[in-house]
Amino acid sequence: MRTWTMTGAAFLALSVISAPLFADVVPARKAKADRDAAAVEQRLVTLGMNAGAARGSADRLTPSELRFFATDTSKLHPVGQQDMFAGQTVNLWFESVGGAVMLAAGLGTGYYMLHNRE
């Protein structure tokens, strides 16, 4: 019985001590964060995102990130889903050709290493 009592007391003490670790953190400047989020959402909508996806993206940002992007919304740029051969990417043509050549050279070297029977 003494073991159960000591175990229960230890569990109770641990629960009381660790309770502050699970406390909710409420930011003091909620209204400003909401204004920043609205500015970021509006910029994302103007870039072509639908409103629901823009709200979800803004919700995933921290308050400091929201403040950073809300001060100058031109910092938000569209990325992804770009056509590589229509000039909508930062990858230049010679980088693509060079990558293909290096890939072919690597595959050729691997083939030679596997099939060299000297």
Per-residue pLDDT at 8: 84
Most confident stretch, 16-20, 31-35, 89-93: 31-35
Q: Are 84 and 96 in contact (CB under 8 A)?
A: yes
Least confident interval from 24-33, 40-49, 51-60, 86-95 = 24-33
For the chain, percent of residues with pLDDT exceeding 90: 14
* Mean pLDDT, residues 101-118: 90
Cα gap 31→77, rounded to integer Å = 25
Query: Can you read off the two tokens belonging to residue 87?
Result: 């000039």
- Indicate whether 80 pLDDT > 70: no
Per-residue pLDDT at 14: 77
